[in-house]
Structure formats: structure tokens, C-alpha cells
Amino acid sequence: MKIADLGTFTKPVLICGGAYGNLQALEALAELQHSLAISDACVIHSGDAVAYCADTEASVQFMAARRWHAISGNVEEQIARGGADCGCGYEQGSACDAASVRWYAHAVATLSSASRQWMTALPAHLTFSIGDISARVMHGSVRQTNRFMFDSLSDAEFAHELDEAGVDLVIAGHASIPFTRIIGTRCWHNSGALGMPANDGTSRVWASVLRPEPGGLSITHHAIEFDAQTAADRIRAENLPAGYADGLETGLWPSLDVLPNRERATTGQALSLDGQRFYMARRTAVAAE
């Protein structure tokens, strides 16, 4: 497993993941980045730069040109190794599995050799420190790139993964719905997907910001408005699964195959995380209004 260390951040860090080939969402993220005066050297993407949306090549080059930090998600892994499918972890024969055949083929067919090389060079994990907190960025879980780690999992499951990671803070992706979970004195954070709404009935997508604080850090969730209509039109123009175009417009996923019961029950309920901050000290972590 390739792990790269980014050293110590002394300024705010913008966290995103799951860009999914959504160029319009990436452009909106860059606007947020500019408004917060965060440099390109302080942006981290937690994997799956391409997936459901149509602008595969443009999205990869958008990130590569800015030299944002990024890790390899399951999609990058599969493309880099010439895999026959996305390796997303969908149940065979499910609606998500069937739809992935089309968008994965589109991604493979439209990527340039330069973009493939960019994917191949990505590390599996990143490590860094900020505000005296040690952090590790991964896509799914420590040993399984495509494991879905949803907020409804038990404290014991998160604690086990944090033990495996050996850090105070894990930043993960893949599960697509944003959350920050305090486990004792440690934390598991998912910024949510940038490229697809969070199944909450709104067309917002998500990112987050880490800010160093005396003796610790704060984590703030950010909802992002983007040009969902153009992104949806691009999906339809490329004859990709229309359910994802509909999902961009309605904020509802076309299939709930991967969702545990608790997350499934909140379908269509607008998330209230926008602007919510979580404070984490070296040995304490508490949520704040």
C-alpha cells in the first residue's frame, strides 16, 4: 500500500471526495476555495474523481492542473490496473451494479493517457498533522478501499478502524453522505460526496474545512450549490444512466441498494450540517452548535 505523508498543515485545509466526473461541482468547489482563501496546496480529495457524471476527462484535468492532493479511490484503482468494473462493492445484480457498467465504460473510454498516469501515481492513503492532531486520509476503510463506512455503524466498528489507522482523525470517502463521528477522543470524518447530492432531497453537494486551533482543530461541513441542470444535461447527452441525472436535479439517489436501514429512512430529509462545526482537541472532541 502506497502512503504519502504531507507533513504539517498550519493553515485551513479543504476536504472533498467523490467528484464523480461532475465538472460543475468542481467549479463550485473552487469558488468556495477562493472565498475562503485556501491555497491549492491545502486541498485534499478522498478518491473517486470519476464515476456517475459525464465530464470524466475534464474533471481529472481540473484537479491535476491545480495539483490538489488526492488519493486513489476504488475507481482510480480499477482504471489504473485495467479492471473490468468499477470495484465499487455493489451487490452483484443490484441496480447500482447494472448502472455502473455504463458509466465505468464511459470513464475508461474518455480518459486520456495523461489522466490515467495521474490516477496510477496516486497514493492509497495520505497522512498529515494539523493543530497537533494526527490524521489519515483513506477512501473506504484501512484495509478495504471499497468498504462503506456509514454513520450508522457501531462505535466499536469505528474504534477498530481508528486503532488500525493509528491516528487521532480518519478522513474517509466512498459512503457519499457527510458526517463527523466522535469516538472517545478520536474522530471519523466523511466530507460527503462532491459529485452527487446526499440523498436528502436537495441538489446540494458537500465538502468540509479543517482549521488548526490552539491544541487541536475544528471541522466545518459546507453545503455547495452548483449548476445541477448543466451536469444533468451532460449525463443525458452522453447517454449515461438517466437516474443519476435525475438525482442531481432532485437530490434523491436512483437506488438505495447500498444504504443501511437508518440512512435509508432519512431519504429526502434535508441535512442540517451546513456550517456545523466540530471541535477536536488532542485528547478531547466535542460537537458545537
Dist. CA 233–CA 128, nearest whole Å: 39
Beta strands in 92-230 (DSSP E): 125-130, 133-137, 169-172, 179-183, 186-190, 205-213, 216-224
pLDDT band (50, 70, 90) for residue 289: very low
pLDDT tens column, 131-186:
999 999 999 999 999 999 999 999 999 999 999 999 999 999 999 999 999 998 99
pLDDT-wise least confident of 20-29, 143-152, 280-289: 280-289
Q: Which residues contact 140 (CB under 8 A, 6 or more apart)?
A: 74, 89, 146, 147, 148, 149, 172, 173, 174
pLDDT tens column, 99-124:
888 999 999 999 999 999 999 999 99
Instruction: Report residue 267 CA to chain centroid gap.
Output: 19
Q: What is the mean pLDDT of the chain?
A: 95
pLDDT of residue 78: 95
Residue found by looking up cell 486513489 in the block: 72
The answer to whether the beta carbons of residues 220 and 275 sit under 8 Å apart is yes
What DSSP line would sit under 262-281, residue for residue? HHHHTTT-----TT-EEEEE
The answer to whether the beta carbons of residues 223 and 206 sit under 8 Å apart is yes
85: pLDDT strictly greater than 90: no
For 29, other C-beta atoms within 10 Å of its C-beta total: 27
Dist. CA 57–CA 55, nearest whole Å: 6
pLDDT-wise least confident of 6-20, 84-98, 175-189: 84-98
Residue found by looking up cell 498533522 in the block: 129
The answer to whether the beta carbons of residues 227 and 26 sit under 8 Å apart is no
287: pLDDT strictly greater than 60: no
Backbone angles phi, psi at 279, to 5 degrees: -105, 135
C-alpha cell recorded at residue 3: 502512503
Q: Show the domains of the chain with their CATH numbers.
A: 3-288 (3.60.21.10)
CA atoms within 13 A on the CB side of 191: 31
pLDDT tens column, 32-70:
999 999 999 999 999 999 999 999 999 999 999 999 999
Rounded to two decimals, what is the model's pTM?
Answer: 0.95
Dist. CA 232–CA 177, nearest whole Å: 20
Mean pLDDT of 237-247: 96
3-state DSSP assignment of residue 223: strand
Across the strands, what pairs with 16? 45
Mean pLDDT of 231-254: 97
Dist. CA 149–CA 139, nearest whole Å: 10
Dist. CA 14–CA 36, nearest whole Å: 9
What are the C-alpha distances in Å from 272 to residues 120, 207, 227?
37, 14, 21
Dist. CA 13–CA 41, nearest whole Å: 9
